[in-house]
Structure 1
Amino acid sequence: MYEQSFRTIQEGEVAKGTIVAVEKDYVVVDIGYKSEGQIDINEFKDVDGVIQAEVGQEVDVLLERTEDDEGTIILSKEKAAKIKVWDEISRVYNDDGEITGSIVGRVKGGMSVDIGVPAFLPGSQVDLRPVRNLDALVGQTFDFKILKFNKKRSNIVLSRRVLLEKEREVKKTETLKVLETNQVMQGVVKNITDYGVFVDLGGIDGLLHITDMSWGRVGHPSEMFGIGDEINVKVLNFDRDRERVSLGLKQLKEDPWIAAAEKYSVGTRIEGRVVSLADYGAFVEVEEGVEGLIHVSEMSWTRKVRHPSKIVNVGDVVEAVVLSINPEAKRISLGMKQVEPNPWDVIAEKYPVGTTIEGRIKNITDFGLFIGIDEGIDGLVHISDISWTKRIKHPGEIYKKGDEVRAVVLNIDRENERFSLGIKQLEVDPWDEIPQKYKVGTSVTGLITNVTDFGVFVELEEGIEGLIHVSEISNEKVKTPVGMFNVNENVTAKVVAVSRRDRKIALSLRRLEDEADRAVYSEYLNSTQAATSNLGELLKQGLAAQNDDDDKTEE
């Protein structure tokens, strides 16, 4: 118990006391006065509402009033603490010292700091560089410099930057003593930009450029680092006069291209990640710092790839084969299609010439039909191989996309990757029998299908036409048959020539006319000869009769 008297303890002074009792609403404290004093119980509760007071515990208290109406001494623990804090603040300020505080929240222009009493930390004094996320500092405890204070106005201004600058200068002095080019040092990432990161080596910052971070591709420095990361770096260049330091991280490892030629010889199968796409191909990271190009022409044996995005996406892991490598130029050519056998190498064995296949029409063009054979391989039925006899202006007249059709394998061109098919070859060529069926010299009857300046086309049977050339229409000169004949009329003509190879039948009306004229003339000749013969007989008979009469007369 303190031997203090009322005369030595005045109202407004701070004294030490001892807790003698903890009641429901107050704590009784003996400060050596003629009677004990009381302190509101709430001044002893922590943030969770738990009472932090025990009998025998010593506390600093402020004597607010010596006696109230009931003769009780009124004390305050909180006010005593604040007075002591202001005393400490004054001492630290005068001694150019440091004070510890916790950042409790953001306020206009900076942060609020609890150092026993509220204090203001301007935003410019938080760190050496502007802090983007001040909220992240709330709840953290730091040492501060007191820039100024006013007890009457309860105004205190703090700075953390001043201490950091002082600390930085000390570290900088020590770092400059040992900093040399090619030295490996440990640092802390302090700032991240688009072109690199700044690393604190100890009071002095060095720039680790994005091109010196990895032998591989780096999209943005933030992909590799975060603020506060501790990293080992190599000093590439140090300008002592300007205090500029260039750093490298990839230089801590050997350039992977040095051993690339041995590791990735031609024919080696690799697995890599697609890191970027271009119109002409995809770049694949084989390992950190080693990228290869898969050209669009090397992506598929059968598909015509217009853009690599039709086959792969950035981030995909793909298999490929090394086609060529140039370590000096740091280039590797890769092929995806070489991972699988070339289907054109086995297609001839699978579908020999003469094989009948069945497939779906995938595309129709002016010149023919494309039929799906195997995955990625289409066969072409040229328009000339659709029918032996029909005149087809466009394949779309007969077929539509998606139709199932049968065809015969005509030819496989491995080098040019062409697969030729024929539909008409499924049937016997009717022209094989035409020369026997329509022999030269015979008369035939057919339907006129077309009349042109140079002649008349006559359909003898379905798909088989003959041509009466303008010169074979009449013995008289005909300039054009147009107007002389009508389509869909029947006409009879004479076969004058048949060419199986050219698939042509030449007809003639003129020769049929000549034949008819000869027949008439022959009939005329025959009739004339008969008449002459009859006249001779009559003359003979007449002469014989006359001779008989002469004989009788002589008698």
Structure 2
Amino acid sequence: TMEFKVVKINQEFRNVVVSHKALIEAELEAQKQVIMSKLEKGQILEGTVKNITSYGVFVDLGGVDGLIHITDLSWGRVSHPEEVVALDQKIQVVILDFDDAKKRIALGLKQLTPHPWEALDQNLKVGDKVKGKVVVMADYGAFVEIATGVEGLIHVSEMSWSQHLRSAQEFMKVGDEVEAVILTLDRDERKMSLGIKQLSADPWAEIETKYPVGTKTTAKVRNFTNFGVFVEIEEGIDGLIHISDLSWTKKVKHPGEFTQVGADIEVVVLEIDKDNRRLSLGHKQLEENPWAGIESKFPLDSVHEGTITEMTDKGAVVSLDENVEGFCPTRQLTKEDGSVPKVGDKIEFKILEFSKATKRITLSHLRTYDDVRKAEAAAEKAEKRAAADATKSTVKKINASVEKTTLGDIAGLAALKSAMEAAEAKKAPAKKSKKEETSEE
């Protein structure tokens, strides 16, 4: 014999639906109301673990259920509630909050013990070394538990003296046991920051001694910019090779043309900026400035064979030698047949300009044949002029000869005439006396 509650009557089918559970629920509801009316925040009760989920634990308080959220199970990090409690386990809990209308009760387990920060060694201070376990990893750092419920953050920037952006996962992982130095400690805010790079000496502390100006060494290319190459000499020591310090002879438009990320490159220390933790480095300074020798090898107006390596809007970049480049303006590129050469063509160029200061060699292909043509035309013109001058000289000589001959003849005739007249004058008296002698006779 049991008691039932009539929940439904069907006259048509002469059927009655009754429920014993409805009576029990009503009793339980009444019991809950009694229990809820007696609850107070901070009240400590005993209950039984009824259900365990990934987000918390449901506890039966003797007719009503409460939830212990996973964050209220322990002062330390909890991955799953099963690490702390088990089903049907009797535990003491404290009431954190409740809602009469929704019949929700928030419970806490860790609140029954003092906060670990309150029990932290009072002698612990900034600069002390501590050991702990990595409990959480993030890109920006790692949380290390040095005591249950007491964690410190090691920011990624405090993991290495290097200034390169890196992920914390490159240095450690969850579960690792690490040693660190306390950098900041705020007991009121319950915050602590730690560092592991401080366990080793700062490489910049004695940079002038370790890498004085003029030091030659090998560095690894880390990054490019339009103005240069960032390299790392060793962990924590970075430097910049300006694009103008890569080569004496080649015009480098972007460092990517000269080297690549991850490659090793020989460098020499040019300048030290200890405050900003930067080194000015050079690569071309490893060799003597070759421009003095280049100038003698490529004098003005000399002609050399070159290969076009690049075409631009203004002209062509020409490789004259393994390490020597020149520039030929567009107007000087035209071939003798009127066509324009292309990349890869090997043709002759004349040196128009050589500037050691700006390291610029200006070339011309047009002048290699145009100057020859002009020279030939000038030679031909000079030859014609010389021939004409020779003809004039010959005619002048002939005229002078003719004139000299004519004058000579005239003078000779005059002399002959005078001689004849003188001779006749002498003969005349002699004839007269002879006549006179004849008359007298």
Q: Would you say same fold, with TM above 0.5?
A: yes
Deviation per CA, 1:460-489: give whole Å up to 9, x if none. 443334444344478xx9996416999334
Flag the 1:304–1:456 CA change in 2: closer, same or farther, 3 A: closer
Cα contact 1:235–1:248 (8 A) shared by 2: no
Which residue in the other structure is 2:178 paired with? 318
Q: Which residue, 290, 293, 297 being the options, matches 1:433?
A: 293
1:217 equivalenced with 2:77 (yes/no): yes
1:511–1:497 distance in 2 versus 1, CA, 3 Å: farther
Q: What's the counterpart of residue 445 of structure 1?
A: 304
Change (3 A) 1:466 1:527: farther
Do the aligned partners of residues 216 and 205 (structure 1) sit closer, same or farther apart at CA in structure 2, a change above 3 Å counting?
A: farther
Query: Is 2:147 aligned against 1:287?
Result: yes
What amino acid is the match of 2:117?
P
Deviation of the 1:336 alpha carbon? 2.8
Aligned partner of 1:506 in structure 2 is 362
CA distance in 2, matches of 1:365, 1:393: 11
* Residues 549 and 387 (structure 1), Cα distance of their counterparts in 2 relative to 1, 3 Å cut: same
1:145 is aligned to none
Q: 1:544 to 1:253 in 2, by over 3 A?
A: same
Structure (1/2) with the larger helix percentage: 2
Conserved 8 A contact 2:131-2:178: yes
Cα distance in 1 between the residues matched to 2:256 and 2:309: 23
Structure 2 match to 1:488: 346
1:541 is aligned, of 392, 401, 416, to 401
2:10 aligned partner: none
- State how far apart, in whole Å, the 1-side matches of 2:383 and 2:82 are: 113
Percent of paired sites with the same residue: 36
Give me the CA root mean square deviation.
5.5
Partners of 1:339 and 1:317 in 2: CA distance: 15
Corresponding residue for 1:550?
Answer: 410
- Residue in structure 2 matched with residue 253 of structure 1 by the alignment: 114
Aligned-partner SS, 2:405: helix
Distance 1:423 1:257, change over 3 A: same
AA paired with 2:155?
Answer: H
The offset of 1:549, in angstroms, is: 1.9
C-alpha distance in 2, partners of 1:363/1:530? 75
Distance 1:271 1:197, change over 3 A: farther
1:391 to partner: Cα distance: 7.3
- 1:382: how far off? 7.3
* 8 Å contact kept, 1:208–1:249: no
Letter in 2 for 1:487: D
Return the letter of the residue paired with 1:433.
Answer: G
Between the aligned partners of 1:443 and 1:237, the Cα distance in structure 2 is 96
State the partner residue of 2:194: 334
Shift of 1:196: 5.2
Instruction: Summarize the alignment of residues 36-185 of structure 1 with structure 2, pairs less than 5 Å apart.
Output: none
1:300 maps to which residue?
Answer: 160
Evaluate the alpha carbon distance shift between residue 533 and residue 258 of structure 1 in structure 2; reply closer, same or farther with a 3 A threshold. farther
SS class of match (1:292): strand
Give the letter for the 1:504 counterpart: R
CA distance in 1, matches of 2:49, 2:262: 64
Q: Partner of 2:324 in structure 1?
A: 464
Residues 435 and 520 of structure 1: is their aligned pair in 2 closer, same or farther, counting only changes over 3 Å?
farther
User: What letter matches 2:234 in structure 1?
Assistant: D
Using structure 1 for the length normalisation, give the TM-score: 0.49
Query: CA 1:421–1:480 in structure 2 vs 1: closer, same or farther (change >3 Å)?
Result: farther
Instruction: Provide the C-alpha distance between the structure 1 equivalents of 2:383 and 2:65, rounded to a whole number of angstroms.
Output: 124
Shift of the 253–473 alpha-carbon distance from structure 1 to 2, 3 Å rule, reads closer
Which residue number corresponds to residue 152 of structure 1? none
Counterpart in the other structure of 1:84 = none
Q: CA offsets, 1:262-306, max 9 Å, x none?
A: 766554443322222234322122333332222333322227565
Amino acid at match of 1:408: V
Deviation at 1:448, TM superposition (A): 4.9
Q: Is the contact made by 2:309 and 2:319 (CA closer than 8 Å) also made in structure 1?
A: no
Please report how far the alpha carbon of residue 550 of structure 1 lies from its aligned counterpart in structure 2 after TM superposition: 2.1
Q: What are the ranges of 5 or more consecutive residues in structure 2 without an aligned counterpart?
A: 1-39, 416-441
Matched position secondary structure for 1:253 = coil
SS at the partner of 1:297?
Answer: helix
Report the counterpart of residue 234 of structure 2 in structure 1: 374
Inter-partner Cα distance in structure 1 for 2:85 and 2:196: 33
Contact residue 232 and residue 238 of structure 2 kept, 8 A: yes
Decide whether the 8 Å contact of 2:117 with 2:190 is kept in 1. Answer: no
SS at match of 2:346: coil
Written as runs of structure 1 = structure 2, the 5 A alignment for 1:181-220 is 193=52, 195=56, 209=68, 214-220=74-80
